[in-house]
Amino acid sequence: MAYTIKEPKEDTRSFLGRQVDRVGTLLLVWLITFLLIANLTENLTTALMFSIPLLVAEVLVLRKFWQIRLQKRQNRRRYWLAGQKIIRNLKNMHPESEFKPYVREIIASLPGFQNVVLNPVDGEGSEEVKKWGIDLTGDYHGTPVAIQCKYPEGDKEITSADIRAFAGSLKLEGFKNGLLVTCGEFGPGAARVAVELSQKGINLKLINRFRLIELARRAGRDGVSSEQARHEVTSDAGGNRARIITALKDTIFTNRTKAKSYFLYGLLLYGGYILMRGTSKLSLIYLAFAGLNLLLGACCLYLGRSIDDKDPLAGLGSDN
């Protein structure tokens, strides 16, 4: 979600400059590998024999790494442009006749939501709505959820008092789960108030304009949905092979929690190499796989989802 807040940086280097950097990176990685093996085996011929196949593997891994990085950079740029368009549209919306129906369309299109209903506006039972302070109701994985839409004027922020007032409406109407959605921002102390309410049995999620953009993307309402952006490159190629490659890439690289496992396995394999060093050539296989796991761990840290990509709806509908 960070790319919706700050414009992603573009690679301003020329094509030749990028290629020189890539070749230099490959040579540096190979040189480090060669020197490490030469130091361990104390034989330059053996080191050269093992380092050349590893160089081929490094080329394949780094090439895939660069492809994934380029694709992610392009997607982030596309997401940012789509987010800017949504922000411009939000600023021109009418709070009642446009913003609330827009939020309803987004929520209703999200996986897990059903029966999302827009409550009456002024002239259609407005007194009841004012009493509730609830604009939308629906079910999220079978759990009733109440939603309030806040459209602040100018740069005015949603205060802690607004959050507590909505929590009071939730309690009054018997809801334990709620979403407070705004096209603006929440003021200081908002997150702390939400935590305090969760300790009292009110599960309240705060959705600012950037989280609203993320939900719009998931609902396919920004023109570039998450699934479309992720599979855009492979969909042109078509066929099951492209989908399998994409799924494999996502499984290997796009989860930062996997980095811990890769690093742990790498250390264990390196420990096996230390124990077998000098007694068997098999120790070099342990060393090679140890290096591979450490490299995969580093790729996960770099390419994995950031903490800003946390699901805005995480925990909604869970038992308190």
CA angle 64, 68, 74 (to 5 degrees): 145
* 27 φψ region: left (φ > 0), alpha (ψ -120 to 50), beta (else): alpha
For residue 176, the model assigns a pLDDT of: 92
Given a cut of 60, is residue 152 above it in pLDDT? yes
Residues 200, 203: Cα–Cα separation, whole Å: 9
* CB atoms closer than 10 angstroms to residue 182: 24
User: Where does a domain end: 24, 59, 92?
Assistant: 92
Q: Which of 61-70, 225-234, 236-245, 294-303 has the lowest mean pLDDT?
A: 225-234
**Residue 317: other Cβ atoms inside 10 A:** 16
pLDDT in tens, 103-147: 999 999 998 999 999 987 554 444 444 446 899 999 999 999 999
Examine residue 116 and state whether it is found in any structural domain, yes or no. yes
| 68 belongs to a structural domain | yes
Question: Is the same domain home to 113 and 83?
Answer: no
pLDDT at 120: 73
181 to 132, 189, 299: CA distances (angstroms): 16, 17, 35
Q: Are residues 154 and 80 in the same domain?
A: no
Residues 112 and 208 in one domain: yes
pLDDT in tens, 173-230: 899 999 999 998 999 889 899 999 999 989 999 999 888 988 888 887 655 444 444 4
Whether residues 1 and 84 share a domain: the answer is yes
**What is the span of the domain harbouring residue 58?**
1-92
The average confidence (pLDDT) of the chain is: 77
Residue 226 lies in a domain: no
Could you tell me if residue 273 is inside a domain?
no
**What is the number of structural domains in the chain?**
2
- State pTM to two decimals: 0.58
Residue 14 located in a structural domain: yes
Q: Are residues 99 and 212 in the same domain?
A: yes
Residue 79 included in any domain:
yes
66 lies in the same domain as 143: no
Tell me which residue of 225, 209, 3, 1 sits closest to 110, measured CA to CA. 225
pLDDT: which is higher, 295 or 151: 151
Residue 263: per-residue pLDDT: 83
Domain boundary among 197, 218, 239: 218
Domain boundary among 190, 218, 246: 218
Residue 225 lies in a domain: no
Both structure tokens of 250: 């996502």
CATH number, position 173 = 3.40.1350.10
